[in-house]
């Protein structure tokens, strides 16, 4: 039996450097630095009330965080003393997108990180104000002090990854001390147990395992690893020898005990080149992930951190020692953001969110049912990406009427007749969605509402102009007999002496709108009454709310009325109205929709022979098809102000508060026997029945007969 290897054989994962230009990339602020920009509190639960489907509202704050002195401290240009001609540029906080977590107020508050290392100066200013639990006897040590500061340090000079997290610290001198730290970590519910050290010359094989876990104390340590890994996440740094061809024993220990893998991460050191969205390339400075690849990732281990020499001392170094505590700190940030997830689930999020686009994959592993992520033997799952871990991964699902469906399928499509009514009904509600990795996200319910763009004003005017210059001026100006707000091709059929006219709307696509309108005309061309019946199937642009693509398929029936009269010599007035009902089947999350009532109104005043014989000037006001009554019901997981999610019934009104009103002006004149010209202008307020939206358009129509 071999005894436990003495402390001198324990290898801290660090390489000490000669710094070429540590301050060359720095700027702004004094040595004392400035704090993070002020943040608005976010409430309870997953990132509180912040938008998490998209971080763009927080870009300016994230930019301020990146430019703060405590972040600039970590920007460095450096080289190894053994190779002074090879320079590296590091910015580890920005490379791992930790700035986005800090921008939304996440600090790891309420979480605990355990650290086993050579020793610690727990009186250093970076640990002031936090709980630091000590197991066994510790002595001051630069390495352990710096590792702990990277994970959870917080001072005016520097910020660690999780500055609000508490610490458990213990020495790695014996397996008994290691076991004590593991036991305390389990008792206190630490989210991570960081180990920035390893045994020398211990390639992962059965011989190494037999040599290093032999005595009772060794086996007790192994038992503590197993017990803690069943609940939390053990984090081990890789060897700093980039020429290693086998992973070391501790990083790859789950190879011998599969039960450890769910609670195990190995971390390497790599300097990346990156832009605002992705890692472009990386230079590996530690051993590769190798046999540990399926539970491994990398981070930039070039840091300026706390030193044990005084309570205000800082220094710079690089190594996997300082990559590993970034991952431990990231777990604390995620634990604060996702209070309902276990440390094992948070571990999966980190692996799934790791940026793996800069290397060719060697394999793929199923991190969750149906969710696979590529990895390489060199970089594991890729580069640490906290921002991506805080966003939905895979398919975001929403519970609708008790059934989980992908968020896009829950979208409620409404048309111009409904306008912004659905969005207004949902505006004050917040709901919870769950991604493929069980992460729950607080999302404004109004994201479910998508309103189809109305038929463009220019298209309406073009159709009016076409009808008018073709000799159907009365029909074009009255409006309600036709299908101006629907997309498609309209065909009019009228016999010269018949009092009945028929209009047909032909769909532009396979599921587009179609319609039939039959009108009975009473009186003559100057004055009279028009009565009609109109049947339509909406392609989604007017009502939406159907179960077809983009809310298509809603059937509607309406009665149209028209009055025509003369005003003095060559003057005229026309009034048109439409009243109808639509039978909507429901769209997305809006599964229970009954009949909705709608109408449209139009008034035209005009004068013929005003400037020349046969001309016509018309002014008018139209209110296109608008839903005037109707409700839908949905059952959604709504989040209350106290952060608790409850399935709740929600009544959704379908009648918009602000109705579209179109002011129209048209002038038509025959230029000669063969040429007819018409100009149309319109200005729409509350366009598409959406409050505050204004549009204007014009059209010039010319007909030349040959």
Which active-site residues does the annotation give? 117, 143, 321
Q: How far apart are CA 693 and CA 178, in angstroms?
A: 66
3-state secondary structure 104-161: CCCCCCCCEEEEEECCCCCCCHHHCCCCEEEECCCCCCHHHHHHHHHHHCECCCCECC
Distances (CA, A) of 202 to 3, 207, 209, 245, 268: 15, 9, 8, 12, 17
Looking at the chain, how many residues does it have?
Answer: 706
Task: Give every CB contact of residue 70 below 8 A, 6+ residues apart in sequence.
Answer: 33, 34, 35, 36, 156, 157, 158, 159
Furthest CA-CA distance within the chain? 119
Q: How far apart are CA 667 and CA 474, in angstroms?
A: 13
Using DSSP, state whether 440 is helix, strand or coil.
Answer: strand
Using DSSP, state whether 425 is helix, strand or coil.
Answer: helix
Q: Are 282 and 358 in contact (CB under 8 A)?
A: yes
CA-wise closest residue to 442 among 426, 453, 457, 431 = 431
Q: How far apart are CA 617 and CA 468, in angstroms?
A: 12
CA angle 239, 358, 67 (to 5 degrees): 85
CA-wise closest residue to 598 among 517, 659, 663, 512 = 659
Tokens, residue 136? 């066994």
Q: How far apart are CA 195 and CA 324, in angstroms?
A: 8
3-state secondary structure 483-535: CCCCCCEEEEEECCCCCEEEEEEECCCCCCCEEEEEEEEEECCCCEEEEEEEE
DSSP states of 252-274 as a string?
Answer: TGGGT-GGGGGGEEEEEEEEEEE
Any idea which residue has 């769909």 for tokens?
Answer: 507
DSSP symbol at 380: B
Strands 675-685 and 76-79: unpaired
Using DSSP, state whether 695 is helix, strand or coil.
Answer: strand
Distances (CA, A) of 469 to 250, 477, 488, 672: 85, 12, 20, 13
Any idea which residue has 């009454």 for tokens?
Answer: 529
Task: HSE, CB side, 13 Å, CA atoms: give it for residue 187.
Answer: 9
Q: Are 396 and 441 in contact (CB under 8 A)?
A: yes
Tokens, residue 51? 């938008």
* Distance in angstroms between the alpha carbons of the first and the last residue of the chain: 109
Q: Are 101 and 163 in contact (CB under 8 A)?
A: no
Burial annotation 470-479 (CB, 10 A radius, 16+ → b, else e): eebbbbbbbb
Q: Which residues pair with 375 in a beta bridge?
A: 363
Distances (CA, A) of 499 to 472, 473, 517, 520: 15, 17, 14, 6
CA-wise closest residue to 334 among 342, 103, 234 = 342
């Amino acid at each position: 039996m071999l005894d436990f290897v003495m402390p001198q054989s324990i290898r801290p994962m660090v390489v000490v450097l000669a710094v070429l230009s540590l301050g060359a990339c720095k700027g702004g602020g004094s040595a004392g630095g400035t704090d993070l920009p002020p943040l608005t509190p976010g409430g309870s639960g997953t990132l509180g009330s912040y938008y998490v489907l998209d971080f763009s509202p927080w870009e300016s704050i994230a930019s301020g965080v990146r430019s703060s002195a405590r972040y600039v401290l970590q920007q460095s240009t450096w080289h190894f003393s053994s190779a002074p001609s090879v320079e590296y540029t590091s910015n580890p906080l920005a490379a791992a997108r930790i700035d986005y977590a800090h921008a939304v107020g996440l600090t790891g508050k309420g979480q605990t990180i355990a650290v086993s290392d050579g020793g610690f100066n727990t009186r250093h200013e970076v640990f002031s104000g936090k709980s630091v639990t000590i197991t066994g006897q510790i002595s001051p040590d630069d390495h352990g002090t710096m590792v702990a500061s990277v994970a959870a340090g917080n001072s005016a000079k520097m910020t660690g990854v999780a500055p609000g997290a508490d610490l458990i610290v213990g020495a790695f001198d014996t397996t008994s001390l290691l076991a004590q730290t593991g036991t305390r970590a389990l008792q206190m519910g630490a989210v991570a147990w960081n180990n920035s050290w390893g045994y020398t010359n211990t390639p992962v094989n059965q011989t190494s395992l037999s040599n290093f876990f032999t005595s009772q104390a060794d086996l007790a340590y192994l038992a503590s690893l197993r017990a803690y890994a069943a609940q939390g996440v053990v984090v081990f740094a890789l060897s700093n020898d980039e020429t290693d061809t086998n992973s070391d024993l501790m990083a790859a220990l789950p190879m011998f005990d599969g039960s450890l893998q769910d609670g195990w991460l190995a971390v390497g050191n790599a300097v990346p080149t990156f832009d605002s969205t992705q890692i472009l390339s990386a230079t590996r400075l530690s051993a590769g992930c190798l046999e540990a690849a399926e539970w491994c990732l990398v981070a930039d281990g070039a840091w300026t951190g706390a030193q044990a020499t005084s309570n205000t001392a800082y220094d710079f170094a690089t190594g996997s020692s300082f990559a590993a505590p970034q991952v431990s700190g990231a777990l604390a940030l995620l634990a604060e953001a996702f209070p309902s997830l276990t440390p094992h689930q948070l571990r999966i999020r980190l692996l799934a969110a790791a940026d793996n686009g800069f290397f060719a994959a060697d394999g793929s592993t199923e991190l969750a049912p149906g969710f696979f992520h590529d990895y390489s033997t060199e970089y594991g799952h890729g580069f640490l990406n906290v921002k991506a871990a805080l966003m939905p991964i895979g398919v975001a699902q929403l519970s609708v009427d008790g059934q989980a469906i992908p968020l896009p399928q829950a979208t409620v499509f409404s048309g111009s007749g409904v306008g912004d009514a659905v969005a207004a009904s949902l505006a004050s509600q917040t709901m919870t969605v769950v991604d493929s990795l069980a992460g729950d996200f607080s999302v404004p319910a109004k994201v479910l509402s998508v309103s189809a763009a109305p038929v463009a004003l220019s298209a309406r005017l073009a159709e009016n102009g076409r009808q008018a210059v073709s000799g159907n001026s009365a029909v074009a100006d009255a409006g309600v007999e036709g299908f101006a707000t629907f997309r498609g091709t309209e065909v009019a059929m009228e016999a010269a002496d018949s009092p009945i006219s028929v209009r047909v709307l032909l769909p532009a696509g396979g599921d587009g709108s179609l319609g039939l309108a039959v009108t009975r005309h009473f009186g003559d061309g100057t004055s009279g009454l028009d009565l009609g019946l109109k049947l339509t199937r909406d392609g989604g642009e007017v009502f939406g709310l159907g179960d077809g693509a983009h809310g298509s398929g809603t059937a509607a029936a309406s009665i149209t009325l028209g009055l025509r009269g003369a005003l003095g010599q060559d003057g005229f007035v026309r009034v048109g109205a439409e009243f109808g009902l639509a039978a909507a089947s429901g769209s997305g999350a809006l599964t229970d929709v009954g009949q909705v009532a709608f109408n449209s109104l139009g008034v035209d005043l005009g004068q013929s022979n005003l400037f020349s014989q046969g001309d016509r000037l018309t002014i008018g006001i139209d209110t296109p098809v608008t839903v005037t009554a109707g409700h839908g019901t949905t059952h959604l997981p709504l989040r209350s102000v106290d952060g608790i999610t409850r399935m709740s019934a929600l009544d959704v009104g379908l009648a918009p508060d602000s109705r579209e009103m179109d002011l129209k002006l048209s002038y038509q004149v025959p230029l000669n026997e063969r040429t007819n010209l018409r100009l149309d202008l319109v200005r729409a307020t509350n366009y598409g029945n959406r409050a505050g939206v204004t549009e204007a358009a014009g059209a010039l129509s010319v007909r030349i007969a040959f």
